[in-house]
Amino acid sequence: MASEMDSLRDMQVDSLLKMLYLNEEHYPKANSVTEDPNATTAAIANDDAIQDIIWKVLVLDKRTTAIVSSVLRVNDLLKTGVTVHALIDSSKRSSLPDVPVVYFIEPTKTNIDLIVDDLKHDKYSEFYINFVDSLSRDLLEHLAQEVVQLGKQDKVKQVYDQYLDFVVTEPELFSLELPTAYSILNNPQSDEETITSLCSTIADGLFNTIITLNSIPIIRAQKNGPAEIVAEKLSSKLRDYVINLKSNSSENSNSILNDSLDRFVLIILDRNIDYSCMFSHSWIYQCMVFDIFKLRRNTITIPGENETSPEKQYDIEPHDFFWLQNAHLPFPEAAENVESALNEYKNEANEIVKKTGVTSLNDLNIKQFDQNENEDDLGTLQIQQAVKKLPELTAKKGIIDMHMNIFASLLKELEAKNLDTFFEIEQQDPDNVKTRTKFIELLEKDGKTDNLEDKLRSFIVLYLSAKNTPPQDFVKQVENYFKGQEYDITPLKYVYKLREMMKMSSSMSLQTKSLDDGKQDSNKMTTSTLSGLYGLTEGTLQGGVGTLISGFKKLLPEKKTIPVTNIVDAIMDPLNSSQKNLEATDTYLYLDPKITRGSHTRKPKRQTYNKSVVFIVGGGNYLEYQNLQEWAHSQIHNPKKVMYGSTDILSPHQFLEQVASLST
């Protein structure tokens, strides 16, 4: 069983490693020290733990490729004995009749038929079959019948349901990758069967996550929407699972049933809990990267400077020390830290150069090869230690250079679109007439046309976050501006409906609170620009960021909770939450899947939880994830652990597209 300190990502990696070690009970565990700044690769395997590694082939499909590639790299697979990995439907998949194969695939008839075909042609020596989700009885019988007919049952060594059908991209963030869930669930054209089927799929994904966590939660869910449907379906599924486990006396079943002393709470919410955060401009490093560029499955894609320029891709390793330490920080702080990291690297490199007497690190590489030939002359203890540290230092420099380049690209976009002005306007009081006046002036003075979507998003944020419906003359002024630019404002038709829906929910009355112990005034948004940073290129960035930082220190965001965090605060820590937030959450559904007799829906009770999974039906974002993590880490006297997931992690542009589709 995973330790309490393990992240969701660690737990998923552990499950994958166990599968790759052929489901043996004893296998090298995931490296739990994921925040070690000196860790440069996902060194997840202990070389001494397994003396005789079984070399094998790994066969995946598109879905499982997404799951594995988000948390493991090729080197990690190699340490488990995987020398070849391929897609199950690839025509280029070679036959290796002397090598065992591990399948990790979706439980579909097509995949089963492909496995049967591999058996028929003796493509591999032994077959270890793992399904990402539970295999239906019909398909299991189909597989058994085909294997028996071929007479190859001796080759099939294992058939496992792994319950890993969710994608983890951050230590405590997961996605079911159902990108159109919001539009399907909110489209009047969607029939009951379509909605029910989608809610069942969502419940299945959550079930997979819970099984990986190895603990049965208390379920709290928003009522009168998809969240309630998902909660009911999931509770029923978990209840059946508990009943089956009670008849099983295995060690695993005992561990999942005997967790009553510290059960976690699963909080299921509908996207209508907060719409404005889906359109907001954030000043958090990770959120900016996701908003401005494309961040998917830990790969950042930056478009080329023009149509003929190739796009750039940067891979965020699970042990990227800079990302782990700075992804959650405001952009100015992260910019300072990237220069500090570069200076630290230079100091380490200079120290090695001094100790070894070489003129550069490149010379040290040469000595590494010469050392074996003439160790008495060149092989001092210091040189040996330096040589051992060199790969780590080189990898560290690569990470720093990558983030330097990402910062350079971000700065170019900030300059091109004046993105700081949109963040600034969204931080101000939307009910204040001065804020609305300032926004109109921004529209009139800003002559740029490549940031029209950003302008529309800022208007939507002001419109949805205001306590009182904005004046009609203000709305008309904004609409006329976009019409003058010939920009499609169809999404606004649905946005106006969203505000009406928000009135019917409790989200607008949720009380926010500071996360900075009364010191938030020093962090409040003040008027400033990034003029000191504009014109910065990729080359000059590496020359030093510190001299330019002063131009935007004042743009640090106010530290406060947002609606989703307020809900979590009320449910996890009711003794310290506001009365309004408590009253809002007291109406939520309360389900205990462990109660297998009598009424399963109970009257909600206020109790303290130390661990939770927060799941948003209809799309989530990195802003909510980071706000929840900030809140959890601020609970110094009563530490909290919060995992965040959604049907999909959607960028503002993606969510705006779904809103537009519902406006027609």
Q: Which residues pair with 620 in a beta bridge?
A: 649
pLDDT at 43 exceeding the cut of 80: no
Q: Where do the domains of the chain lie? A: 6-163, 167-246+267-273+558-660, 280-361+376-487
Model pLDDT, residue 209 = 97
Model pLDDT, residue 395 = 87
Spell out the SS3 assignment of 89-113.
CCCCCCCECCCCEEEEECCCHHHHH
Of 7-21, 144-158, 316-330, 388-402, the least confident = 388-402
Model pLDDT, residue 605 = 78
Coil/strand/helix, residue 309: coil
The rounded distance, in Å, linking the Cα atoms of 102 and 86 is 11
Instruction: Identify the architecture of domain 6-163 in CATH.
Output: 3-Layer(aba) Sandwich (3.40)
Number of Cβ within 10 Å of residue 514's Cβ equals 15
Question: Would the CA dihedral through 78, 79, 81, 86 be positive or negative?
Answer: negative
pLDDT at 184 exceeding the cut of 90: yes
The rounded distance, in Å, linking the Cα atoms of 166 and 67 is 7
Question: Which of 337-346, 538-547, 650-659 has the highest average model confidence (pLDDT)?
Answer: 650-659
**Which whole number is the average pLDDT over 125-133?**
98
pLDDT at 71 exceeding the cut of 70: yes
Under a CB-based contact definition with an 8 Å cutoff, are residues 619 and 650 in contact? Answer: yes
Under a CB-based contact definition with an 8 Å cutoff, are residues 422 and 454 in contact? Answer: yes
**Which whole number is the average pLDDT over 274-295?**
94
Under a CB-based contact definition with an 8 Å cutoff, are residues 512 and 532 in contact? Answer: no
Under a CB-based contact definition with an 8 Å cutoff, are residues 614 and 642 in contact? Answer: yes
* pTM of the predicted model as reported, rounded to 2 decimal places: 0.88
Q: How confident is the model at residue 252 (pLDDT cuts 50, 70, 90)?
A: low
pLDDT at 34 exceeding the cut of 50: no
Which of 522 and 126 is assigned the larger pLDDT? Answer: 126
Phi-psi region of 263 (alpha: psi -120 to 50; beta: other; left: phi over 0): beta
Q: What percent of the chain is predicted at pLDDT more than 90? A: 62
The rounded distance, in Å, linking the Cα atoms of 297 and 72 is 11
Please state, rounded to an integer, the average pLDDT across all residues of the chain: 84
pLDDT at 296 exceeding the cut of 60: yes
Phi and psi, residue 296, nearest 5°? -140, 130
The rounded distance, in Å, linking the Cα atoms of 465 and 283 is 18
pLDDT at 276 exceeding the cut of 90: yes
The rounded distance, in Å, linking the Cα atoms of 23 and 323 is 32
The rounded distance, in Å, linking the Cα atoms of 139 and 257 is 29
The rounded distance, in Å, linking the Cα atoms of 284 and 268 is 25
Among candidates 334, 318, 314, 315, which has minimal Cα distance to 326? 334
**Which whole number is the average pLDDT over 116-120?**
97
The rounded distance, in Å, linking the Cα atoms of 595 and 603 is 14
Model pLDDT, residue 268 = 98
Sheet with 312-315: list strands edge to edge: 294-296, 299-302, 312-315
- All residues at 6 or more sequence positions from 221 whose CB lies less than 8 Å from its CB, including other chains: 227, 228, 230, 231, 267, 268, 269, 588, 589, 591
Which of 37 and 99 is assigned the larger pLDDT? Answer: 99
CATH of the domain spanning 280-361+376-487: 3.90.830.10
Eight-state DSSP code of residue 557: P
pLDDT at 559 exceeding the cut of 90: no
Per residue in 574-623, pLDDT (tens digit) is 998 889 889 889 999 999 999 876 555 667 778 999 999 999 999 999 99
Tally helices (H) and strands (E) across the chain: 26, 15
Eight-state DSSP code of residue 271: G
- All residues at 6 or more sequence positions from 584 whose CB lies less than 8 Å from its CB, including other chains: 506, 509, 510, 567, 570
- All residues at 6 or more sequence positions from 385 whose CB lies less than 8 Å from its CB, including other chains: none
**Which whole number is the average pLDDT over 26-50?**
49
Under a CB-based contact definition with an 8 Å cutoff, are residues 326 and 662 in contact? Answer: no
Which amino acid makes up residue 226? P
pLDDT at 44 exceeding the cut of 90: no
Pairing of strands 611-617, 265-270: parallel
Q: What one-character-per-residue DSSP string does 597-627 give?
A: SS--B--------SEEEEEEET-B-HHHHHH
Residue 164 token pair: 């890993």
Helix (H), strand (E) at residue 85: strand 82-87
Pick the CATH number of 167-246+267-273+558-660 from 1.10.3330.10, 3.40.50.720, 3.10.129.10, 3.40.50.1910: 3.40.50.1910
Same fold, 6-163 and 280-361+376-487: no
Under a CB-based contact definition with an 8 Å cutoff, are residues 341 and 400 in contact? Answer: yes
Per residue in 476-531, pLDDT (tens digit) is 999 999 999 999 999 999 999 988 877 666 444 567 777 664 344 434 443 333 33
